[in-house]
Structure 1
């Protein structure tokens, strides 16, 4: 029995223990074979989802389980072009790649040690397209480091990376010094050792394409001198048109790649074909008859252009009606967000659908027909319960803590895992944790939990700090006004627009209309608002909690009746419940229009969604006020005002999204509305209906229905 490394991934078994074993032919966590679902033609499995849903964790679990059991390569795609070609990260994570060529090179480094045939066609092609501009030492060293890693992985040489890198740089530079830039490039012969003394002043022009072509020719010549290349040259020659006869196909491959555009795409198609050809050639009749498992490649973050390009090349090749090599490479990739917009022929399956069968069958010749997309879904409450089991006996946890975590996070795996760990850590230290304490916890290193989570979910610190403040605004228009008030400077556009673009780029939301919240994701908005509350006490530049809500109240008050609900909400967020009660009570007693009842209830319930003020500026006595324990404080008020005061505080308490509703508070909402109903000459029917429906809505955490709205 083999147990995978790391913590278990709840809710992902249909993918981990059903689909992938049927594709690889190997059971997930035990050394046994299983029946393969597809043979001869396999889908590319594309796992989709938003930040923190567990895409990378799924690949890490697969890598831990299948490593040493079959040929495996695990690569993370990054967006930025890097000059140096990195080796595996020091933290043990997957190596990164920022171009399709780097992805192929990393796949070779991961798969070659376990394959019978070590990429005799692809490796010379990777050498040919890895030239550099003559005189650019950084590009040269990066390319030669790639050469060294490829040669070591394929066991074509011994030694260490740095020694080989230096040797290749020296050898290629030596060939370049021995020939001039105007010598013939691409002929299938050794370059001449003769050199023109008149060119001793370095005749190379780095901006001239011939300089890079000469490097390509020198690299290919050096490779052909050291290792057999005739078979690879013959293979690539068949992929070029007749007009290319007489030229070294490897040099021509490099030239096409460096030329860019359609030429580069054709060169990349050849490299992909070479990769799949070498994989297929590693499995002869004996290996296929013995059902040796095919390689498994794991590609993380393929929403970046290099990853999308790589998958497009793979899918294009597999869509060929008569593709020459019937490899059965198992590919599992991840993508931030949803499936590609142009993948109209892809097959989409949810996790539960994968238990018995993938349901995939290639239909048509479209490349995307080879795609099987699987969205990762949030965790259920039952998935969360095991995360709240302590390692050692401790004091009992709150009975509704799992429900509270699920209500707060929506089942977001990364946030759920961090919160549950923080709960167990606090409990082990003797602290009692209730549903309303979740956002006040600390992670293991002592940082506030919201700070740690937001760093993970919003990596850009500048945008994270900006969004922390702007999340307090009702909509994008208010956010822009607040940004202008706080003098938040944007690099090249309005701050709120910049923040919105960042959220769209990070796949948190689509384009936000001006009348919608700047941050539409409820979990992200909750974390940002709490972080604003936590950090505002240290602000002394007009960015503290009170100043921000005072500005936003004035902003909405200027809109008249359409901004009344928002103005009341920001007034309550600042802790001024008395002003909100006075305004609601005044309208209740003065407004006679029957149609105004719906507007009054809307203002009441929306105001009650206000975030609570910072603890140091406000004491939470909502329960006591709602139950009438503090009525003595308000002896001078009219009974209608005292009733509205109790109703507002009860609604404020039950409206917190992640807290289990208090039964007494739910009952209080109905009681106070029932008291008000007969005391208004024209609103009694609407208020009476609310008195019956709102307590049930509060208990079930559903929207409060308003008759006529």
Structure 2
């Protein structure tokens, strides 16, 4: 995929990123959005929506013109580094150290950003250990030497002073200590400061809780709080992040910075809805809420459309709601902090601007698909159904569009191929391993590598299997019956209701009619379920489990989605055992049921996925057109059979529209209305309405996961 495909409105010279950073991709200046009070920009969207891709674009294209640091909050690197010396390190200290190193390597306008305030705080933390040897603690302090400014040690202090400070550190290892190392280190550091350096430290650490304006006390308290763990440590960590932002302000606010530095620096936090990401973002929001402003533009990513856990569990009043913007709306987002916030009580969401990641438009999908294909002109017509399948199955999700477009380009001949064929195309992952089916690659990227944060460890190996079985479920009750059967005998199982919460936390949409609320994901899982056992046995078994539960409830009982439990059972029977019994049921109930309710049941039943489309024979078109031989029953039963198969095809999102089948909808309903025992008017109206929807390429039954079709 072209890195900026679908992101142009965000990345263009007059786009949001250029305006909030004050620089374009080509390095030109732009008038900055917003004043000194900046929002944290939260890029929201589920798996495969391009959040990480946007961060990469910002880093690669804007990074040469404004200082930029990138942090993957889901990386195990920071935890591994912290665990090497847990007494004086944490994930936060390692993130901040890595961020400072990236800013210190900046080579653009204004040069590297020095982080002396952060260095002082990290050095105090490194020297605060109580159990390690003096040599080990000094080694931890010296580990941060690369954060010391080059050329001078704090504005105005000569290299000689820095050398003397380094010599004092070495002396601590060989000589007797007259006080705790942290005390000696802080006193030695402060003694070496110039007037400007002392003022900088006083302005920063003098504000530490209980410091009373004294940087010495602030640094000592910082080290002590870090050793306490719990809430004191979290406060110390949040203050270290403030020290880093104060360093950035110092670099921009100094005389040389004002003359040479242009635009705003950026911190890119990928997977910021993890615990580490929330611990980084929350203190920034709290500081800015209380008026401690800085110019660091923070782009953070979250999978939930409402922004993630640290936002949606915050205040729920309109005043506390975050700002929201969809790039497809055009223009630029107008944001300002809502008035009336009470310091310490206001929700942190007031300082957030939620930017919803855009889906690819139809034109952009066509552009991506065409870019990956070089075909003969006579193959163009046979490709169109596959292009339509890509649109229907992906809903514009960028990663899915790209993978399916790559699969289309690898087909030897597109003639007669279906969406299911696309999912089986093997793609190379770029290494020496054989290609894997595109469906497996997508499931790996969208599910296996995107596990919910709160998924219990014992369930991580089973998560994909659980979702695979739930691909046949509709509401939570239907899903719960499957989970009881599939997790029988396993300790620590998950209920369907908990799984629904975890899916939402992972950024997957909700659909009232389908437990797996994303059409593309559901079909990837259905394909996997079909291949779990030979001949699709696992898929049939799951449909049978649901049917058995329906029988236990009683066919005449009402069902919220299907009208009756019998219709719910018939839906799963159609998906696993074929149409004969279903056609019998519909023929019999046409004479006894309310006609309007009968039509709704027909739609609900015929929304079943086709097992035959996963490797069997698909005779639905022949049955719909009345061309199949030996269809049992009288004239009415055969007519109902034709109507059932026509609706089944029209409701199948993996099939291209078929005008001949669409015509059957109207004719069959019209014929039924001629000798219907009751409800002729309803059937006539449905003939008009359904045929109109089919001709417009719209689903016959509105559904949250098929709204993009048409």
**Distance in 2 separating the partners of 1:688 and 1:401:** 34
**Distance in 2 separating the partners of 1:486 and 1:43:** 46
**Distance in 1 separating the partners of 2:630 and 2:63:** 69
Question: 1:387-402, aligned counterparts within 5 Å?
Answer: 387-391=368-372, 393-395=374-376, 396-397=379-380, 398-402=383-387
**Distance in 2 separating the partners of 1:637 and 1:547:** 29
Give the Å deviation of 1:282.
Answer: 1.2
Give the Å deviation of 1:155.
Answer: 4.8
Matched, 1:619 2:617: yes
Evaluate the alpha carbon distance shift between residue 147 and residue 642 of structure 1 in structure 2; reply closer, same or farther with a 3 A threshold.
farther
What is the aligned partner in structure 2 of residue 203 from structure 1?
Answer: none
Partner of 2:283: helix, strand, or coil?
helix
- Counterpart selection for 2:544 from 536, 545, 550: 550
**Distance in 1 separating the partners of 2:330 and 2:646:** 46
Question: 1:113-512, aligned counterparts within 5 Å?
Answer: 113-114=105-106, 115-130=111-126, 148=143, 151=146, 154-155=149-150, 191-192=177-178, 216=182, 234-235=202-203, 238-240=206-208, 241=210, 249-261=218-230, 263-283=232-252, 284-290=254-260, 292-321=262-291, 323=292, 327-337=294-304, 338-339=306-307, 340-341=311-312, 342=314, 344=320, 346-353=322-329, 355=331, 357-364=332-339, 366=341, 368-391=349-372, 393-395=374-376, 396-397=379-380, 398-426=383-411, 433-435=417-419, 437-445=421-429, 446-459=435-448, 460-497=460-497, 499-508=499-508
Give the Å deviation of 1:64.
Answer: 0.9
Partner of 2:572: helix, strand, or coil?
helix
| Contact map agreement 2:651 2:699 (CA 8 A) in 1 | no
Give the Å deviation of 1:110.
Answer: 0.9
Matched, 1:667 2:663: yes
Deviations 1:29-58 (A, max 9, x none): x24333333454433322112222111110
Give the Å deviation of 1:310.
Answer: 2.1
What is the aligned partner in structure 2 of residue 72 from structure 1?
Answer: 68
What is the aligned partner in structure 1 of residue 560 from structure 2?
Answer: none
Partner of 1:106: helix, strand, or coil?
helix
Give the Å deviation of 1:494.
Answer: 4.2
| Contact map agreement 1:407 1:658 (CA 8 A) in 2 | yes
Question: 1:660-699, aligned counterparts within 5 Å?
Answer: 660-699=656-695
What is the aligned partner in structure 1 of residue 453 from structure 2?
Answer: none
Question: 1:552-591, aligned counterparts within 5 Å?
Answer: 552-558=546-552, 559-561=554-556, 562-588=564-590, 591=591
**Distance in 2 separating the partners of 1:488 and 1:538:** 24
Matched, 1:52 2:48: yes
**Distance in 2 separating the partners of 1:556 and 1:136:** 65
The answer for unaligned runs of 5 or more in structure 2 is 84-88, 153-167, 342-347, 430-434, 449-459, 557-563, 703-710
Partner of 2:374: helix, strand, or coil?
coil
Number of residues of Structure 1 aligned to a counterpart in Structure 2: 631
Indicate the larger mover: 518-527 or 666-675: 518-527
Deviations 1:152-193 (A, max 9, x none): 685589xxxxxxxxxxxxx999958977xxxxxxxxxxx339
Matched, 1:15 2:10: yes
Cα RMSD between the aligned structures? 3.9
| Contact map agreement 2:203 2:213 (CA 8 A) in 1 | no
Evaluate the alpha carbon distance shift between residue 227 and residue 416 of structure 1 in structure 2; reply closer, same or farther with a 3 A threshold.
farther
| Contact map agreement 1:100 1:307 (CA 8 A) in 2 | no
**Distance in 2 separating the partners of 1:490 and 1:497:** 17
Evaluate the alpha carbon distance shift between residue 280 and residue 674 of structure 1 in structure 2; reply closer, same or farther with a 3 A threshold.
same
**Distance in 2 separating the partners of 1:173 and 1:223:** 13
| Contact map agreement 2:115 2:244 (CA 8 A) in 1 | yes
Give the Å deviation of 1:425.
Answer: 2.5
Evaluate the alpha carbon distance shift between residue 358 and residue 577 of structure 1 in structure 2; reply closer, same or farther with a 3 A threshold.
closer
| Contact map agreement 1:277 1:327 (CA 8 A) in 2 | yes
Partner of 1:524: helix, strand, or coil?
helix
- Counterpart selection for 1:537 from 526, 534, 537: 534
**Distance in 2 separating the partners of 1:332 and 1:27:** 16
Give the Å deviation of 1:267.
Answer: 2.6
Deviations 1:550-590 (A, max 9, x none): 232222233312211111111111132112122222333xx
Evaluate the alpha carbon distance shift between residue 564 and residue 60 of structure 1 in structure 2; reply closer, same or farther with a 3 A threshold.
same
Partner of 1:633: helix, strand, or coil?
coil
| Contact map agreement 1:113 1:154 (CA 8 A) in 2 | no
What is the aligned partner in structure 2 of residue 110 from structure 1?
Answer: 102
Matched, 1:605 2:599: no
Deviations 1:331-374 (A, max 9, x none): 2222221232337253222214564x431234437464443221
Evaluate the alpha carbon distance shift between residue 678 and residue 22 of structure 1 in structure 2; reply closer, same or farther with a 3 A threshold.
same
Give the Å deviation of 1:447.
Answer: 1.8
Give the Å deviation of 1:131.
Answer: 5.9
TM-score (norm 2): 0.78
| Contact map agreement 1:463 1:502 (CA 8 A) in 2 | no
The answer for unaligned runs of 5 or more in structure 1 is 1-5, 88-96, 158-170, 180-190, 194-213
| Contact map agreement 2:100 2:147 (CA 8 A) in 1 | no
| Contact map agreement 2:211 2:218 (CA 8 A) in 1 | no
**Distance in 2 separating the partners of 1:153 and 1:437:** 59
**Distance in 2 separating the partners of 1:346 and 1:662:** 45
Deviations 1:255-295 (A, max 9, x none): 12332455335434432332222112212234324552332
**Distance in 1 separating the partners of 2:660 and 2:132:** 74
Partner of 1:609: helix, strand, or coil?
coil
Indicate the larger mover: 437-446 or 244-253: 244-253
Give the Å deviation of 1:545.
Answer: 2.5
| Contact map agreement 1:45 1:374 (CA 8 A) in 2 | yes
